[in-house]
Amino acid sequence: MRLIFFILFCLNVSVLFGQEVTAQSKGIKVYISDYVTAQSKGIKVYISDYVTAQSKGIKVYISDYVTAQSKGIKVNIGASVPIIQVQNPISLSSLSSVTLDFSVTSSELPVVTLSQDSRGFIPVLEAVRVSGNTYFYKPEVKLSVGQNRFSITAKNNGGASKYLYSVEYEEVIKEKRLALVIGNASYVSCPLKNPVNDADDIAKVLRDLGFEVLIYKNVSKRDLVDAMDLFYDKLANFQISLLFYAGHGVQVKGENYLIPIDATLKAESDVSYECYPLSKILSRMGSRTPTNIVLLDACRNNPFERSWGVIRDVDGNGNGLTEMKNYPEGTFIGFATSPGSTAADGNGRNGVYTESILKNITKSGLTIDQIFNLVSGNVSKSTNKKQCPWKSSSMTGDFYFKK
């Protein structure tokens, strides 16, 4: 029993360690935290980081193991079971790999392994940082589509701990977006003020929304055809197509046409030769991409009608563009005003319709229908209901410019 003096000598001495227990040896009271067994006369001792045994002035520092140099007694102190703590756990990921950020608190160097479902064990992990008795780990793991389950195991001489971790991988197919933006203003007989600005500003915001943009300004018939051909060819590698056109447009016998700046339209019959039919654009877009968007700020007064003998209304306005009736599934068409009406060019930098598109298109969490409801409301209000934008759609799902 003399060996008991390695910790305490007196029968009535109390030692404060942590949580209270009673060591059944000579009635010595000991307070405890982590569990160890001091291999000396079968005395159980419970410890934390370090304690001072107030017996004969013996100071005992406890970490992995210590030797109490008192009476030649050797005390072997077992390591505490490792504690695993995960930092900012991820339960859902849209990425194919994630970093597992966790730490292990251990009184001695732990052996840490990671297993993933049926893929077996990842080799023993090395800590990226150590602070005191805390080891930090950041292994990067690859995910499979669906639920991925991981098991983190940390072992030392005190035992083993396990932490189960689950991450669901939702594969997001990023839709590639291509936009053709055209602004025609420099017509010889009827120049317009805003279309070039409209094209520049729309192109910028579409790029910010993830579109690759082809932009053309003041295009001739030849340039317009070339632009459409290039647009069509590139669409093979995209899922979403968008055409924005600002400039003069005209309807003839139920067909809408985009007018290039060099068009010579002495008679209504010249339109089909000098201009580009909107139905052809829609057909080509629909044959390549499942989602097609056409935005037309092109319903301005048509000065060419004056020489065609077209009947005009009491305000001298022409017929604007007509409603499209046959177009591919997955198509949204936005007109600057209602069918048969005309739109204002605008007094500021942009046309009234384009200005409202720019104001609303970047709003997140709104479908294309919701955005163009806002556009219509803005335009109608700012023009005292003289101009009421129109939309037509064959989309079967929701499209978001920005989620």
Which pLDDT band, with edges at 50, 70 and 90, does 175 fall under? confident
- What crossing angle do the helices spanning 352-360 and 368-382 adopt, rounded to 10°? 140
Per CATH, the architecture of 83-169 is what? Sandwich (2.60)
Please give the pLDDT value at position 251: 83
Please give the pLDDT value at position 120: 59
pLDDT at residue 396 is higher than 80: yes
Which pLDDT band, with edges at 50, 70 and 90, does 390 fall under? confident
Q: Where are the alpha helices (DSSP H) in 240-331?
A: 271-274, 278-288
Q: Which CATH class is domain 177-393?
A: alpha beta
Judged by average pLDDT, the poorest of 5-14, 123-132, 151-160, 257-266 is 5-14
Among candidate residues 288, 307, 315, 287, the one with its CA nearest the CA of residue 386:
315
Annotated domain spans of the chain = 2-60, 83-169, 177-393
User: Average of pLDDT values for 333-355?
Assistant: 79
pTM comes to: 0.58
Among candidate residues 194, 177, 189, the one with its CA nearest the CA of residue 336:
194
Please write the tens of the pLDDT for every residue from 78-118.
Answer: 567 899 999 888 888 888 888 999 999 998 889 998 888 75
Q: Which residue has the higher pLDDT, 178 or 54?
A: 178
DSSP-derived secondary structure letter, 367: B
Angle (nearest 5°) at CA 162 between 160 and 167: 160
pLDDT at residue 403 is higher than 70: yes
The pair of three-digit structure tokens given for residue 250, joined into one six-digit string: 């005209």
Q: Which residue has the higher pLDDT, 254 or 7?
A: 254
Q: Do domains 83-169 and 177-393 have the same CATH topology?
A: no
Mean pLDDT, all residues of the chain: 77
Q: Return the bridge partners of 146, or none.
A: 169
User: Average of pLDDT values for 322-348?
Assistant: 76
The 8 Å CB, 24+ separation contacts for 301-305 are 301/342, 302/248, 302/249, 302/250, 302/342, 303/189, 303/190, 304/190, 304/250, 304/259, 304/263, 304/265, 305/250
User: Average of pLDDT values for 13-21?
Assistant: 34
The pair of three-digit structure tokens given for residue 355, joined into one six-digit string: 């200005």
Please give the pLDDT value at position 313: 36
Among candidate residues 66, 131, 76, 128, the one with its CA nearest the CA of residue 105:
131
The pair of three-digit structure tokens given for residue 313, joined into one six-digit string: 């209304």
Distance CA 397, CA 400 (A): 10
